[in-house]
């Protein structure tokens, strides 16, 4: 029976690897994912390994590790101020797909449209570059932002206000986007121009996300943080792909 199993099949490898890694995550003292979040992260991980192999998986793993770490920055102060992520940063299924739905679509696109592989990989990396920039900027800004301003008016507002930006958060966001795109370059998902495209796309998308937060999010109950994250990462992917096509 074992001889009939193809142990080189990327979907099988992805399944086994995710079962092992997410079992470890599940038994860690600090909850990084809810139970439902673990199942959905596993599905995402299988999709990414099955379509993009270990290079794509490294990107999503890097985002998860760094994103979880920055969420913990100044957690006590953020919880006291009521601006911390819910569940102390433990990700549920809505967080998984809010952050990675566009990336998963790009990855699946590589499977069905291999002739567009580079552009789809660029969109994949740009979506995670955008999300990491957003997460890093938000969490560092809430923890260390000395002055926060509403992006649409530049008037001072309390930390944690939807649409608020800070110098500290903005710089941290750019650093986060650069770090993940350099990783993508080292594993040959994008070329050196792709680094520039993804960082520019992440900066544009993250600031547009702040505009959405400042102007629209409070007006529509359906426009949750997760939906905004999908829009944010979609903008990042579109901008990066458009830059690659036009330049």
Query: Which own/partner contact pairs does 154-158 have at CB distance under 8 Å and 24+ positions apart?
Result: none
| Arithmetic mean of pLDDT over the chain | 91
Note the pLDDT of residue 233: 98
3-class secondary structure, 170: helix
**What's the pLDDT tens digit per position in 159-185?**
888 899 999 999 999 999 999 999 999
Question: How many Cβ atoms are within 10 Å of 15's Cβ, its own excluded?
Answer: 17
**What's the pLDDT tens digit per position in 39-56?**
999 999 999 999 999 999
Q: Average pLDDT of each block of 10 consecutive residues along the chain (247 residues)? A: 64 94 87 90 96 97 93 76 65 93 98 96 98 95 88 91 92 97 98 98 97 91 93 98 96
pTM: 0.91
3-class secondary structure, 92: coil
3-class secondary structure, 190: coil
Note the pLDDT of residue 84: 60
Tell me the C-alpha distance between 206 and 27, whole Å. 33
Query: For the CA atoms of the chain, what is the radius of gyration?
Result: 18
Cα–Cα distance list, 166 to 20, 49, 112, 142, 229 (Å): 39, 36, 41, 9, 19
């Amino acid at each position: 029976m074992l001889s009939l199993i193809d142990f080189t099949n990327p979907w099988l490898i992805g399944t086994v690897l995710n079962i092992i890694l997410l079992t470890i995550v599940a038994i860690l003292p600090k909850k990084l994912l809810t139970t439902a979040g673990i199942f959905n992260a596993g599905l995402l991980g299988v999709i990414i390994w099955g379509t993009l192999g270990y290079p794509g998986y490294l990107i999503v793993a890097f985002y998860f590790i760094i994103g979880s770490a920055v969420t913990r920055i100044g957690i006590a102060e953020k919880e006291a101020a009521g601006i911390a992520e819910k569940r102390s940063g433990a990700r549920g299924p809505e967080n998984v797909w809010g952050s990675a739905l566009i990336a998963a679509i790009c990855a699946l696109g590589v499977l069905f449209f291999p002739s567009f592989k580079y552009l789809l990989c660029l969109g994949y990396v740009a979506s995670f570059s955008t999300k990491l920039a957003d997460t890093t900027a938000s969490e560092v800004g809430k923890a260390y932002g000395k002055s926060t301003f509403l992006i649409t008016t530049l008037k001072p507002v309390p930390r944690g206000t939807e649409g608020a930006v800070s110098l500290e958060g903005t710089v941290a966001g750019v650093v986060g986007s650069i770090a993940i795109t350099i990783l993508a370059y080292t594993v040959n998902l994008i070329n050196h121009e792709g680094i520039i495209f993804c960082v520019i796309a992440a900066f544009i998308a993250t600031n547009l996300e702040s505009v959405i937060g400042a102007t629209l999010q409070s007006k529509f109950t359906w426009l949750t943080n997760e939906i905004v994250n999908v829009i944010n990462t979609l903008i990042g992917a579109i901008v990066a792909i458009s830059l690659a096509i036009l330049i």
